[in-house]
Every structure is written in C-alpha cells, then in structure tokens.
Amino acid sequence: MVGGELVLAALVILLALLLTLVLSHFLPLLLNPKAPKGSFGWPLLGETLRFLRPHASNTLGSFLEDHCSRYGRVFKSHLFCTPTIVSCDQELNHFILQNEERLFQCSYPRPIHGILGKSSMLVVLGEDHKRLRNLALALVTSTKLKPSYLGDIEKIALNIVGSWYDMCKDKGRVNVIAFCEEARKFAFSVIVKQVLGLSPEEPVTAMILEDFLAFMKGLISFPLYIPGTPYAKAARERISSTVKGIIEERGNAGSSNKGDFLDVLLSSNELSDEEKVSFVLDSLLGGYETTSLLISMVVYFLGQSAQDLELVKSEHEGIRSKKEKGEFLSSEDYKKMEYTQHVINEALRCGNIVKFVHRKALKDVRYKEYLIPSGWKVLPVFSAVHLNPLLHGNAQQFQPCRWEGANQGTSKKFTPFGGGPRLCPGSELAKVEAAFFLHHLVLNYRWRIDGNDIPMAYPYVEFQRGLPIEIEPLCSGQLQPRTEVEGNSSWVAVAAGPPQRRRRSCLRRHHDRTPASSPPSCSPASSLLELAV
C-alpha cells in the first residue's frame, strides 16, 4: 500500500513539473499577445535545434526561410531556453544596435560567460564595456598602419607562403594543403606577436596555441554545460596562467619597449590584473578566428571566380611593380588595394562570419508595428540582411564589383562585424592582414579548390574538411630559397614590369562566371619581395 502511494505521489510530482514546464514555456505567449507572429516549438527546447541546424553560410538556412515566409521578417520564437524576437529586418537591426544600453543590452547565454570569463569585453556591460572598448580602439588606431606592425604581418605571411614552395618542390610542383589550418597559423602568429611580443618559433607560442585550440572548441560547443563536452574541457585557465606569467615577467623586467599591446596594458592603471588577462584573451580570440576565417573565405570565393582573381592579381602586380627589391608594403600600398577591398567586403557579405548577435530588451519596445516585450531575447540576424535580394542584387552570388562606386561598406545593409557601441574594434586589422596575405598568395601561386567543401554555419562558420586546395607555384613567381640563416630561409622573386589594368563591366564579368579551376598559362607578372631574416 505504501509503495502504491509513493508511486502515485511520484506521478503527481512529475505531472506537476510537466505542467509547470508547459505553462512557463507558453505563458509569455498569453501575456504578450501583441508580440510579432511566430511559434515557440516544444517546451524547454523550443526551436533551438532547428535554428542551429547546419546550412551553407551564403544561405539563410531552412529555419529562417520557413519562418520569414510564414511570419514575416520579424517573428517570435523560443531559442536558447528564452522567449525570443528574431529580426531579419535591416531597419530594426540597425535600431537594436544603435540603442545599446538604452533599450537593449548584450545578453549571451550564461555558459558563454563561464568560458570567456566575467571580465571579457564580449559579456561585460555599461561603463565597464565602454572602458575596455576605448582601450581596444586606442590600441588598434595606434597599430593598424604602423610600419613595424605591417612588417610583422608581411614577414609571417612570407614564412607561411614560402613553406609551401618546399612542399611543392618535394611533390612535383602541385601540392594539397588544408588552407584553413594555414590561415589559422598565420592569424595566430600575427596576433600573438602583436599582443604578447612572441615569435611563432618560440616554445611558449606553441603551448598557447595548443590550449587556445581547446579553448575554441569549448567556445563553439552547443551552449549548454554538459560535463565531458569540449565546452567543459575548455583550456581558459591554462591560457590565463600562461598569460599571467608573461605579464608578471614583463612587469618585473621593467619597460620592454616592444611596442606591443602588452606594453600599453602594463602602463594602464585603469584595468585590474583579471581584466588585463581577459583583454589579452579577447584580443587573441578576435585576431585568430575572425581573421583566419576571412582569409579562408576570400580564397574560397576567388577560387570560384577566375575573373575576379585576375583583377585582384592585376592590382597587386601594379603595386609590386612600383616597389624596390626588398621593399616592404606600406600603408600607402594598402590604400591602393581598392579591388582587394571589394573582394574582402563581398567575402564578408557572402560568408557571414558573424551570423547574429545576442541582445535583450530592457523594457517594452515599440518599433513601427512591432512590440518587443521587456526581458525577451532579441536576435538581429545580419546574414538575413546580407542575403536579402531586395538589398543586394543576385544576393547569393559572389560579385565584388557591387562595391564599386557607392560607399556601401558603412551602410545599414552591411554589418559583418556588428554595429553600434559594440562594433568590433579590430575589424580593420583583419582586413589589413587579409589584404597583405592575399598580396603574396596571388603573386606566387595558382590554386584550385574542392567545390564540395563549402563554408557551413553551425551557426559558427566552418569548412568541414578545412578547405583543401591544390597549389602550384607560378612559373616566374615561384619562391626561390636565397640564404640559410640559423635554419630559416629567406625567399625572393623578381619583380615584373608594370601590368596592363584589366577591367570590364560588372554585368559582363559576372554574366558567365568561369570557375578558377583551370590554371591559366604561366604568368610573367608574379613577384615576392625579399624577406629580411
């Protein structure tokens, strides 16, 4: 009898819990009848799994396509265990971003706070965020066109690109590389050098990279804390310990005059020790993942468009032809890379490295015909604006020429790095690094991509197989080992004469697009400047 009563009590408790769960899930629908149309899906899970379903990054994915067609470009849903307003509308997205801390507030899932740390710029709010971002902007402004920074970028790019020549020589000119890995190697080497003053060959750099890869796996895991997942194994503490050691060593040694981010951080009295460590981790994260993905996207899309690759190559041949032998690229050279900037912008638009951001309504917000209830999560979806055919003609096609003329790079319909007070402070550095890397790539190699490996949104963007590409040195631009100094090779190639500028109308160039899979004849215009060891 007692056993039967216990079973009955357990059933009653279970039913009560289920009823509470169902009511808590659907109660916001009853309390907010004027919220945009939409659906909440299943209790607890809501529609999160459908929202996170992988899809090509240059498409909206089935979830957004279905909901936009059924409910319009602004709709309600239940995502990440929270009632949510999803905005695919250009004007509403801009309104949300511009009203940070007034009407809306950054609101990432709680597990993200755990892995990034409570002092991370991504999750801090109000005056704390403003203080950290102002410091980041000051560092970026003082760095982005500094000759020493540009020189470091170029030396690291030359080392990466030069290493491929040895592989091609050993394997009969043509070699297959996992390009995403090479791009990450380049981006990490640049940011570690700039932030911590560490060279790629130093043992501590390899140690930080190993822990950082584990950290990244945790960060991009599904946002629920499940022991045993990569998230639970994130290596933030080990990286923090290493960074603290470097900070203490630099502080004890006095002024290093390295001119890197760390020198500036140590001279600042505004940040606590914990904030300094978080600032370094934020810098590594932004400089590593965003930059490497951007470079991979550029190589992927150019690999499918021989016309655009030809125009980029012509532009860089023109820049190289005016340089002396052994002369590094300058800030003025970067400003001349106009079509390269169009390519970078278009790769960002099509690739959608940052698909959406997390915000929360601080109060009931009325915008046009929409009511956004207080406390609800708000997701401005940037990819939906980038791929809107009403805003971008032939939106799913890669057409860099669309950026010619009008200043679209700062418009409401292009937000690859967010917007408002939380606009990514290092976005321009990513573009500089991508442009300099591309300079040496197009002047010294031709490549063929595997069309089956496409960028996928999980929602984070990734090439499933690491973007394998076939590379082959150009006949007159192939890298030649020049000297051997302490085990490091220098690389040199002969600069060619001024090329003829090849331009065609945007419509004609993209009417019948030819994939860049069939390599052209050997080019006489490729070159590589001398790397000073």
Q: Which domains are present in the chain?
A: 119-304+426-533 (1.10.630.10)
pLDDT digits (tens, 9 = 90+) for 234-270: 677 888 888 888 888 887 776 556 667 888 788 777 7
Dist CA 460 CA 12 (whole Å): 42
Q: Which of 130-139, 280-289, 436-445 has the highest mean pLDDT?
A: 436-445
Dist CA 388 CA 530 (whole Å): 45
Dist CA 412 CA 263 (whole Å): 36
**What mean pLDDT comes out for the span 267-285?**
84
Residue 227's pLDDT band (boundaries 50, 70, 90)? Answer: low
What pLDDT does residue 433 have? Answer: 96
Strands 468-473, 445-449: pairing is: antiparallel
Q: Is residue 404 predicted with pLDDT exceeding 50?
A: yes
Give, in order, the Cα–Cα distances in Å from 479 to each of 159, 180, 434: 11, 21, 20
The answer to which of 57-71, 249-263, 421-435, 514-528 has the lowest mean pLDDT is 514-528
What pLDDT does residue 262 have? Answer: 82
- Please give the model's pTM, rounded to 2 decimal places: 0.84
What pLDDT does residue 270 have? Answer: 79
- The DSSP line for 228-271 is TSTTTT--HHHHHHHHHHHHHHHHHH------SHHHHHHH-SSS
Whether 506 has a binding-site annotation, put simply, is no
- Report the chain's terminal Cα–Cα distance, integer Å: 86
What pLDDT does residue 496 have? Answer: 36
What pLDDT does residue 394 have? Answer: 92
What pLDDT does residue 228 have? Answer: 46
Residue percentage of the chain with pLDDT more than 90: 47
Q: Is residue 513 predicted with pLDDT exceeding 90?
A: no
Evaluate the CA torsion angle 408, 413, 419, 420 in order and state its sign.
positive
Q: Which of 5-14, 179-188, 445-454 has the highest mean pLDDT?
A: 179-188
Task: Pick 464 or 273 by higher pLDDT.
Answer: 464
Between helix 179-196 and helix 427-444 the angle, nearest 10°, is 130
User: From the CB of residue 53, how many other CB atoms can be counted at a distance below 10 Å?
Assistant: 13
pLDDT digits (tens, 9 = 90+) for 160-218: 999 998 777 666 677 899 999 999 999 999 999 988 888 888 888 888 888 887 777 76
Q: Is residue 520 predicted with pLDDT exceeding 60?
A: no
Mean pLDDT for the chain overall: 81
Dist CA 521 CA 514 (whole Å): 16
Q: If you ran DSSP here, which 8-state letter would residue 81 be given?
A: T
Give, in order, the Cα–Cα distances in Å from 477 to each of 218, 413, 472, 494: 41, 39, 11, 7
Residue 455 pairs with which residues in a beta bridge? 463
Residue 7's pLDDT band (boundaries 50, 70, 90)? Answer: low
Q: Which of 70, 117, 74, 39 shows the shortest CA–CA distance to 276?
A: 117
**What mean pLDDT comes out for the span 450-479?**
84
What pLDDT does residue 329 have? Answer: 94
342-358 burial: b if 16+ Cβ within 10 Å, else e: bbbbbbbbbbbbbbbbb
Dist CA 533 CA 531 (whole Å): 6
Q: Which of 44-58, 166-180, 269-283, 495-509 has the highest mean pLDDT?
A: 44-58
**What mean pLDDT comes out for the span 209-232?**
64
Let me know if 367 is exposed, middle or buried by CB neighbors in 10 A (0-12, 13-18, 19+): middle
Task: Pick 371 or 214 by higher pLDDT.
Answer: 371
State whether residue 177 is helix, strand or coil: strand
Dist CA 278 CA 293 (whole Å): 22
